[in-house]
Amino acid sequence: MDLPLIDLARHLPDDPNPPPELWPAVPQPNAVHQTGTGLTAFASHSHYEQPVGCLICDSDRRLLLSIWPKGGMEVAVDGRQRQLQSRQLLCGTLGAGPWHTQMNGDMPHVGLLVSPALLRQIAGEDGDALAADLERGLGLWLAPSDPRLLHAAQELDSALMGGASSPLLREAKSLEFLIQVLRVRGTIRSDGATAPPAVVRRADHERLNHARDLLLADLAQPPSIADLARQCGMNTFKLKQAFKQYFGLPVHTLYQRERMRAAWDLIATGGLSVSQAGLRLGYTNMSHFSSAFKRVHDVLPNQVKRGG
């Protein structure tokens, strides 16, 4: 069965009520506020009578910073399955491809949508660090909340859902929530928030970023690991080890993820057919292309074309 595909750019901030056939939750109150700085703050109190799966993307390529105060959710990003627990902080990039989500029961949700550029602009080094982590390879970052963050989430929810609250109050509570998210991120720097991040020597950062640029320069014809290592002045073992530590993914996995994100763009917004997109990205066998696309996005490329 095809899952509904929801593009948040079509609904937040302008139209926060997707039709029931897309978002089959029992109608519940929700609210959205666009701050003066450009943040989109939102709150919703959804209820699902039975488990519901859907695909969520954002063609505006914003970051999602949010908390579900009650209820958990299964989410798969780039083929990696994660279980979001109640009251966990979620930070993720909605990028080009969708998240495959599974929701059930009461699921209130409060948070922010913000572009990476805006986050860097308004939050300086802290914003740049979070955006870089998510863009570099983590994609989805979960961490336990603490009382200060949960209080900020509750205050933001109250400000948004309270019809009598002033725009100034909603603005203040949105920024306070962002401050607390960045504070938590600064104290817990790990994918899944259970282990310290691997250390990569600062001297290798430039080489690894160069390796990534070379890897993604031509998505139809990537260099071999040996060529990549030679051009970056590393041996192949060190390149593979440091690349995974620094970007959070092995070389081929990151390449294939970016290749399939480009495929999504070409099909969903670039006007190309499935076969044209596959050929553009170096595929001669469209069955192989469709299988690779589905492994990353949980949907076949022809379903994206129909949905567009």
Work out the average pLDDT over 36-50: 86
CATH superfamily of 5-187: Jelly Rolls (2.60.120.10)
| pLDDT recorded at residue 273 | 93
CA distance 275 to 290: 9
Per-residue pLDDT at 195 exceeds 50: no
CB neighbour burial string for 162-198, b if at least 16 within 10 angstroms, e if fewer: eeeeeeebbbebbbbbbebbbebbeebeebebeeeee
* Secondary structure letter of residue 54 according to DSSP: E
* Secondary structure letter of residue 284 according to DSSP: S
| pLDDT recorded at residue 196 | 38
Closest CA to 80 of 301, 297, 303, 300: 297
For the chain, domain boundaries: 5-187, 198-248, 250-308
Supply the angle between the helices 251-268 and 202-216 in degrees, to the nearest 10. Answer: 40
Per-residue pLDDT at 197 exceeds 70: no
Fold (topology level) of 250-308: Arc Repressor Mutant, subunit A (1.10.10)
Is the whole model's pTM more than 0.85, yes or no?
no
| pLDDT recorded at residue 42 | 92
pLDDT tens readout for residues 118-130: 999 999 888 988 8
Q: Which helix (H) or strand (E) holds 232?
A: helix 225-232
Strand, helix or coil for residue 103: strand
| pLDDT recorded at residue 179 | 93
pLDDT tens readout for residues 204-249: 888 998 999 999 999 999 999 989 999 999 988 889 888 887 777 7
Residues ≥6 apart with Cβ < 8 Å to 301: 263, 267, 274, 277, 278, 289, 290, 293, 294
Widest pairwise Cα distance in the chain: 63
pLDDT tens readout for residues 283-306: 999 999 999 998 888 788 988 866
